[in-house]
Amino acid sequence: MGGPFHARLCCRGSRPGSPGSGEPSRSGDQQAGTVAESLPTHRAARRKIPKPLVRLLRLVLVAVTAWLLLRLLRGVDWGEVGYALTHLSWWQIAVLLVAMVIRRSVLAAPLALLIAGLSYLRAMVSDVAAAAVATIAPSPGDVVLRLAMLRSWGINATDAASGLTLATTLFYVARLAAPVFGFLIFWAARDFYGPFAWSALIFGAGSAVLLGGLLYALRAERTAATIGRLLGRLFQRARPSSAGPDAWEERLVSFQSHSAGRMSQRGSLTVLSQLILILVEAGVLVLCVGFVGVQLDSTAVILMICSFMVVYPLTGLPLMGAGVLDATYAAFVSDHSAIEATDLVAGLLVWRVAVQLVPVIVGLATVLVWRRLTWNR
């Protein structure tokens, strides 16, 4: 009863300003009782979605994915796919390399715009290195690498964290909004298509919610102060030697005001760069499909661009939605054109080599060079 754990509970149960209260044991028992009573509540809150329903949703997802893949793979002549992949001419490879440089420069634009003191070249280096790490490692790894690189280049910590947060948020806003543009363009150029409309509605709603949250956060200085004080209290309870509520309030208010300032200065250019990115991503895929022998006319190009915009949110899945995105995209295009599945698969494989495999190789080499230069300082 008089052990260190009981003593800690007593101290937490006593009121501030009366550490020598005459009833420490009762306060500790009350605190222990409160914690014990709250545990079932937290566990119950975590189990809002029944396990059978979660399992059913997983089975449905697996079944839909398997159906799409089987539908795609049954019509593929893999001999022709291999021939198309191994017979790209040198000038086509050169064009794809140039397209990759353009794609990486557009991807790096938000970092260069939103992080003060970061040059465009270093933004590209950071982006390709983080992309390589994100492909082969869990998600936080790329953020840790980005912050380490920015710190090694002398970028202020607040500038780095603010810029990364804004760039990531705007990227997901654009990614979720892409189906809306794809649906509207297809509707105006061709016809109304139900699956495109549903994709635009669902992902567009997510984009609107995310954008609304960002705009509110950029104007909510009082909310930032309140959250800062709350975090300060929580961290101080867990670790008494950590910074208190006042310090955390100052940090979050500074972060919020700094983010709002950068967005007011560079926000419009950043949003424009994200819209250009969607078009560049779609254009690279059209190039890859054209290079494997598909005849490209205006109707086919519009169809391929709109289909890619509609499935673009799937690039947020592991390995950029490998398999799921490919099957869905091929199903959309083949249902509205005479393009064969074999040519689409060959083009998608060329596209994945260009936007995934090559950047991973370049990114890992960049990380090694950066580490060597950092160690030599």
pLDDT in tens, 337-357: 888 877 888 888 889 888 888
Q: Tell me the H-state helices in 138-193.
A: 140-152, 157-189
| Calpha distance 21→33 (Å, rounded) | 19
Residues 6 or more apart in contact with residue 109 via CB below 8 angstroms:
120, 123, 269, 270, 273, 277
Residues 6 or more apart in contact with residue 71 via CB below 8 angstroms:
327, 331
Residue type at 256? Q
pLDDT of 135 over the 50 cut: yes
| Calpha distance 14→209 (Å, rounded) | 43
Cα–Cα nearest to 303, from 275, 338, 342, 345: 338
pLDDT bracket for residue 64 (50, 70, 90): low
| Calpha distance 208→171 (Å, rounded) | 13
Helices 245-291 & 90-114 angle (0-180, nearest 10): 160
| Calpha distance 186→311 (Å, rounded) | 13
Q: What are phi and psi of 144, to 5 degrees?
A: -60, -45
Range of lowest pLDDT (213-217, 319-323, 347-351): 319-323
The string of pLDDT tens digits covering residues 253-303 is 777 777 777 888 888 899 999 999 999 999 999 999 998 888 888 899 999
| Calpha distance 124→118 (Å, rounded) | 10
- Other CB atoms closer than 10 Å to residue 357's CB: what's the count? 11
Chain position carrying tokens 């509520």: 245
pLDDT of 25 over the 50 cut: no
Of the two residues 209 and 3, the one the predictor is more confident about is: 209
| Calpha distance 120→122 (Å, rounded) | 6
Q: Domain-by-domain residue ranges, the chain?
A: 88-215+267-375
- Other CB atoms closer than 10 Å to residue 327's CB: what's the count? 25
Give me the percent of the chain exceeding a pLDDT of 70: 76
pLDDT of 169 over the 60 cut: yes
Token pair belonging to 374:
């950092």
What length is written for the chain?
A: 377
Residues 6 or more apart in contact with residue 377 via CB below 8 angstroms:
none
